Amino acid sequence: MNVFSISARLARTACIGALLLACSTASFATDGARLFAPCVACHGRQGEGNASLNAPAIAGQDAAYLERQLQNFRSARRGVHKADTFGAQMRAMAAALGDDAAVTRVAAYVASLPGTAAVNPAGGDLRDGNNLYHGHCGACHGGAAEGNAALKSPRLAGLDAAYLKRQFGYFRDGVRGSDPQDVPGRQMAMMARTLTRPGDLDDVIAFIQRQSRAK
């Protein structure tokens, strides 16, 4: 066999490998979209969320974060407190995914959707919000609330004010982030107790919501 035959065979092998990879990737995305279909009623076709249904925007969120939260719901690390009625609904939806592979696929699909911007940004003191955010939140969640996958910190920009306020209260009051196995949640619960003055949270949320609109 001469060198040209070897090169041709290697080229064919590479082409077949690339084709198989492309087909596998397309199948993965299609399966993710199919698994996401039951979520559309609350979270929207593009994962844009629906504040009137208390469903947050999830499009463009880090895949590892989405997968971790779905697993938290599935394993009763989140959504079990009697005050978290919306979390209880999500536990049922997460359980319907069936297995870990399905969780991975749907998380990857949602992460591939374009991130959203806050539709009606909350009012607040932006200067105070900027100072408070960077003093308490920015080190983990990023300077523009874009999130930091390495620190397991989600994107906050684009989330509606009511959801942000509710989850902050949940962390502060032990409704969320109290399970020993939810290490990032426990860290957030500790940080939530550092904003103590009335109005601080509203100012921080106002700053966060401006970040998605500045892109």
Domains of the chain: which residue ranges? 5-213
pLDDT at 1: 54
**Per-residue confidence at 213, pLDDT binned at 50, 70, 90?**
low
Integer Cα distance of 61 and 90 in angstroms: 17
E strand or H helix at 27? helix 3-36
Query: In 117-159, which ranges are E strands?
Result: none
**Per-residue confidence at 8, pLDDT binned at 50, 70, 90?**
low
pLDDT at 203: 96
Calculate the average pLDDT of the chain: 87
Integer Cα distance of 73 and 90 in angstroms: 7
Integer Cα distance of 124 and 205 in angstroms: 8
List Cβ neighbours of 1 (8 Å cut-off, separation of 6 or more): none
Integer Cα distance of 25 and 36 in angstroms: 17
Give the type of residue at 174: G
CATH assignment of 5-213? 1.10.760.10
Q: Show the tokens assigned to 64.
A: 């590892």
Average pLDDT on 170-177 reads 97
pLDDT at 98: 85
Measure the N-to-C terminal CA separation of the chain; round to a whole number of Å: 57
- 12 C-beta neighbours (distance < 10 Å), count: 10
Integer Cα distance of 201 and 214 in angstroms: 20
**pLDDT of 59 strictly over 60:** yes
pLDDT at 120: 72
Integer Cα distance of 110 and 29 in angstroms: 10
**pLDDT of 95 strictly over 80:** yes
54, 141, 145, 207, 211 from 129: Cα distances, Å: 24, 14, 12, 5, 12
The DSSP secondary structure of 190-215, one letter per residue, reads HHHTT--STTHHHHHHHHHHHHHHT-
Give the type of residue at 165: K
Radius of gyration of the chain, Cα coordinates, nearest whole angstrom: 21
pLDDT at 47: 96
The pTM assigned to this predicted structure is 0.84
Integer Cα distance of 135 and 200 in angstroms: 12
Average pLDDT on 147-166 reads 95
